[in-house]
């Protein structure tokens, strides 16, 4: 019986030389660090140094999250990754009615540059690489980070890190959008231009398939829709007058790593190959760095279970192995208790130790692309690539990523795949250890980390004090300048930075843009 992969592609019980009949190694495989980058974006990969171990963290107040960051750094984390709460992600202050009950729950509450200052207190921003998982208000949070760096005496040119800034996947899979697609894409392009001039080492976008996968996308759908979004961003930047080689080297991507190790390795290799071809052939990029698909990976949160949570340690280990064998540039390993609540210090440390064991106790860093030439992996790489390219053509036939989003194409395809997965789990055809097989009669008790509900009141008090102490007229003038830029063609980031410097809040800045651009209301076609 032939099994099917997560993408619905056949997986043969035995692969041999015939699987690669007609396979052109020079064209499809190449050398590490060379076009088409199937074997990795750098010639030495982990033989020179391991991937960046970037643990995603943030909860409650900036003070509490800062303490978690300090402990992660002390335990060997080589990069920080900031989780923001939902009000911050949606551009609302902690004392806004819509924020009630959500402050500090799934990430840290950041209302103003005051919170950002506390968040990175004692952390030298010229010595740490920081990733910020923020999209609609990405420009605001990056500018706050730059302002805090200036206070530390760190020049913007020395800052390194990534801001997710991927608004298109929000319309497809996640929902934390604010503005309609057109002004949202303009904001993305403005950030590209600003960073090109002001923060040149910063990765200006992390084009994300992770959230699509969490919503139910197959591996082929994940890379197809992510790369289609990437194409839309490149077109937007080029249409705004930028040369492709001026911004493409700072593009980065973000993917999931599932427990289906072989297909995940194939997925990462196929994604690199497709992107290299698109950038070189479609956009005429000349700089080899523009052809490289550099990506961060997070292990699959959607595969974690609240039942027998310790089993998640095994799942995360396998997922991390898939990411490393697939050639990721940085990695976050989920904590085993994330299906229950926010990670505890102990579980976060164990997640980091998982990466450290892979980096230092195995031979994974001894050679580049261990699966190169494998009958099964090379064949699966070709299959995933073909399936992804077919989906990308369908997106193009609909007019590109934005037009396809407006027609509900990506969302519909992902929802159908998610339904298939749910049916297979319900029937027992897809085994989930501890859930539909190998269950316990009674689950063992586990005490999760809980966020203090008083955080919301404390953040509201901070905001009241901030508004009372700041120069209100300076804030009003800065927000007026921001509205003027948003209504014209000037880059909105410089006036936005001045508003934040004057201690305007996240909600006030986003409201100023809402006044001009409006908000997005989706049309549910499925």
Domain residue spans in the chain? 3-19+41-408, 455-517
Under-50 pLDDT residues of the chain? 525-526
Residue identified by tokens 């990175």 is 120
Task: Give the CATH number of domain 3-19+41-408.
Answer: 3.20.20.240
Calpha distance 349→335 (Å, rounded):
8
Q: Please tell me the predicted confidence (pLDDT) of residue 132.
A: 96
Tens digits of per-residue pLDDT, 279-297?
999 999 999 999 999 999 9
Calpha distance 225→268 (Å, rounded):
14
Q: Percent helix, strand and coil across the chain, each rounded to 5?
A: 55, 10, 35
Q: Please tell me the predicted confidence (pLDDT) of residue 1.
A: 58
Strands 251-257 and 161-163 turn out to be unpaired
Which structure tokens are listed for 462?
A: 């901070």
Q: Please tell me the predicted confidence (pLDDT) of residue 524.
A: 61
Calpha distance 209→428 (Å, rounded):
27
Q: Please state, as a whole number, how many other Cβ atoms lie within 10 Å of the Cβ of residue 526.
A: 9
Long-range contacts made by residues 241-245, C-beta under 8 angstroms, separation at least 24?
242/189, 242/192, 242/193, 242/196, 244/279, 244/283, 244/284, 244/285, 244/290, 245/285, 245/286, 245/287, 245/290
Q: Please tell me the predicted confidence (pLDDT) of residue 526.
A: 44
Name 147's bridge partners: none
CB hemisphere CA count around 435 (13 angstroms): 19
Q: Which of 81, 82, 83, 160 is nearest to 128 (CA)?
A: 160
Query: How far, in Å, are 114, 319, 359 from residue 314 at the CA level?
Result: 40, 9, 17
Q: Please tell me the predicted confidence (pLDDT) of residue 214.
A: 97
Q: Which strands sit side by side in the sheet containing 251-257, from one edge to the other?
A: 202-203, 161-163, 129-133, 79-83, 52-57, 330-332, 295-299, 251-257, 205-208
Burial of 390 (0-12, 13-18, 19+ CB in 10 A): exposed
Which structure tokens are listed for 399?
A: 């007019």
Query: How far, in Å, are 158, 174, 386, 392 from residue 409 at the CA level?
Result: 41, 15, 19, 11
Q: Where are the beta strands (DSSP E) in 174-329?
A: 202-203, 205-208, 251-257, 295-299
- pTM of the entire predicted model: 0.94
Strands 10-11 and 3-4 turn out to be antiparallel
Q: Please tell me the predicted confidence (pLDDT) of residue 447.
A: 82
C-beta separation of 118 from 63 below 8 A: yes
DSSP 403-424: HHHHTTHHHHHHHHHHHHHHHH
Calpha distance 90→179 (Å, rounded):
10
């Amino acid at each position: 019986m032939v099994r099917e992969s997560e993408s619905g592609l056949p997986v043969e019980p035995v692969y041999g030389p015939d699987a690669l009949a007609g396979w052109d190694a020079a064209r499809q495989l190449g050398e590490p660090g060379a076009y088409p980058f199937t074997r990795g974006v750098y010639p030495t990969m982990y033989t020179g140094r391991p991937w960046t171990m970037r643990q995603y963290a943030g909860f409650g107040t900036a003070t509490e999250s800062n303490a978690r960051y300090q402990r992660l750094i002390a335990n060997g984390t080589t990069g920080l990754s900031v989780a923001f709460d939902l009000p911050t992600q949606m551009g609302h202050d902690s004392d806004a009615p819509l924020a009630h009950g959500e402050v500090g729950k799934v990430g840290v509450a950041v209302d103003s540059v005051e919170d950002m200052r506390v968040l990175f207190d004692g952390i030298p921003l010229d010595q740490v690489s920081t990733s910020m998982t923020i999209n609609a208000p990405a420009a605001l949070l990056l500018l706050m980070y730059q302002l805090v760096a200036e206070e530390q005496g760190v020049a913007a040119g020395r800052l390194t890190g990534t801001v997710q800034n991927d608004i298109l996947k929000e319309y497809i899979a996640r929902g934390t959008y604010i503005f309609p697609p057109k002004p949202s894409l303009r904001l993305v392009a403005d950030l590209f231009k600003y960073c090109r001039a002001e923060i040149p080492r910063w990765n200006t976008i992390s084009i994300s398939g992770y959230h699509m996968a969490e919503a139910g996308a197959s591996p082929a759908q994940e890379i197809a829709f992510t790369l289609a979004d990437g194409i839309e961003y490149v077109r937007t930047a080029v249409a705004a007058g930028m040369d492709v080689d001026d911004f493409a080297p700072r593009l980065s991507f973000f993917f999931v790593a599932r427990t289906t190790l072989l297909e995940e390795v194939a997925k990462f290799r196929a994604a690199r190959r497709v992107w290299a071809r698109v950038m070189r052939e479609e956009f005429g990029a000349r700089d080899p760095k523009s052809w490289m698909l550099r990506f961060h990976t997070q292990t699959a949160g959607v595969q974690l279970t609240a039942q027998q949570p310790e089993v998640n340690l095994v799942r995360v280990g396998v997922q991390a192995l898939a990411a490393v064998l697939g050639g990721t540039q940085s990695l976050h390993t989920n904590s085993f208790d994330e299906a229950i609540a926010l990670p505890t210090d102990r579980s976060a440390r164990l997640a980091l130790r998982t990466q450290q064991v892979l980096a230092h106790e195995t031979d994974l860093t001894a050679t580049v692309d261990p699966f190169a030439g494998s009958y099964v992996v090379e064949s699966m790489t070709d299959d995933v690539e073909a399936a992804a390219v077919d989906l990308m053509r369908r997106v193009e036939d609909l007019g590109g990523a934005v037009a396809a989003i407006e027609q509900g194409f990506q969302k519909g395809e992902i929802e159908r795949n998610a339904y298939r997965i749910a049916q297979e789990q319900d029937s027992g055809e897809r085994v989930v250890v501890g859930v539909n097989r190998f269950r316990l009669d009674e689950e063992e008790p586990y005490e999760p980390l809980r966020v203090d509900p008083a955080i919301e009141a404390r953040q509201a008090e901070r905001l009241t004090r901030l508004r009372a102490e700041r120069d209100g007229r300076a804030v009003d003038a800065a927000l007026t300048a921001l509205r003027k830029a948003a209504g014209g063609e000037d880059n909105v980031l410089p006036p936005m930075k001045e508003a934040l410097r004057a201690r305007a809040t996240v909600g006030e800045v986003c409201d100023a843009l809402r006044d001009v651009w409006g908000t997005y209301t989706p049309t549910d076609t499925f």
